[in-house]
Amino acid sequence: MSGENNRKKFVVQRHQASHLHYDFRMQIENVLKSWAIPKGPSMNPQEKRLAVAVEDHPLSYINFEGIIPEGEYGAGVVLVWDRGTYKPIGEESIEKQYKKGRMKFNLEGEKLKGGFVLIQTKIGGKNKNWLFIKEKDRYALKKIF
**Residue 122 near residue 139 (C-beta atoms within 8 A):** no
102-to-28, 62, 105, 134 alpha-carbon distances in Å:
14, 23, 10, 13
**Residue 11 near residue 62 (C-beta atoms within 8 A):** yes
Per the structure, the complete domain to which residue 122 belongs is given by: 4-134
Tally of domains in the chain: 1
Instruction: Phi first, then psi: give them for residue 59, nearest 5 degrees.
Output: -55, -30
Q: Which of 63, 50, 75 is nearest to 13 (CA)?
A: 63
Is 141 inside a domain boundary?
Answer: no
Is 143 inside a domain boundary?
Answer: no
pLDDT tens, position by position, 110-136? 999 999 999 999 876 678 999 999 999
- Rounded CA-CA distance 55/101 in Å is 16
pLDDT tens, position by position, 21-72? 999 999 999 999 999 999 999 999 999 999 999 999 999 999 999 999 999 8
- pLDDT on residue 10: 98
Is 37 inside a domain boundary?
Answer: yes
pLDDT tens, position by position, 80-110? 999 999 999 999 999 999 999 999 999 999 9
The pTM score is 0.91
